[in-house]
Amino acid sequence: MQTTDRIRQFISAELLSNASPSSLGDTDALIESGIIDSYGIMSVIAFIEKDFGIQLESHELIPDNFENIRAIAGLVDRKLGK
């Protein structure tokens, strides 16, 4: 499964009450729409660190890296050296 799909599946299940993953596009605004709020960001950070086995540094914890699924996947892939 691609990075984007794993992230999409998590956000759909955990932050959108099990909505269909297909309803969430790669560039749909997650922060502006309120899908990722101040609680949601904690879940997302914990998920990507655990699921992808990465550790985010403080300078990477910026809203731009969580704007949409593509941005989150980009962050993850950079950390994984993809």
Partner 1 sequence: MIEIELTAEQNQLRKTITDFSRKELNVDVAAHDRQGVFPLELWKKCAAMDIMALPFPEEYGGCGLDFLSTTVAIEALSYGCKDSGLVHGICAHLISGLLIKLFGSEEQKRLYLPRISRGEMIAAQAISEADAGSDVLSMLTKATRQGTEYIIDGRKMFISNASVADVILVLAVTDPGRKTMGAHSFFLLEKGVPGLSCGKAFEKMGLRTLQNSEVIIDVCPVSSDKLVGKEGQGAIIFNEMMEWERILFGACHLGSLTRVMETSVRYAKERKQFGQPIGKYQSVSNKIARMKISEELIRPLVHRAAAKKDLKQRAAKEASVIKVFASESLKSACLDAIQVHGAYGYMVEFEIEQDLRDSISSTIYSGTTEMNMQIIARLMGL
- From the CA atom positions of the chain, what is the Rg in Å? 12
The three-state secondary structure class of 48 is helix
**Alpha carbons 36 and 11: distance in angstroms, whole number:** 9
Give residues with Cβ within 8 angstroms of 9, minimum separation 6: 1, 21
28 counts as binding partner 1 under rule CB under 8 A: no
54 sits near partner 1 (criterion: CB under 8 A): no
Which residue is it, tokens 């759909």?
A: 12
Minimum distance from CB of 51 to partner 1 (Å)?
A: 12
Q: Select from 1-9, 20-28, 29-37, 71-79 the region that touches partner 1 (CB under 8 A).
A: 29-37
Report the residue from 1, 22, 38, 53 that binds partner 1 according to the rule CB under 8 A: 38
Q: Which residues bind partner 1 (CB under 8 A)?
A: 13-14, 31-32, 34, 36-43, 45-46, 49, 55, 58-59, 61-64, 66
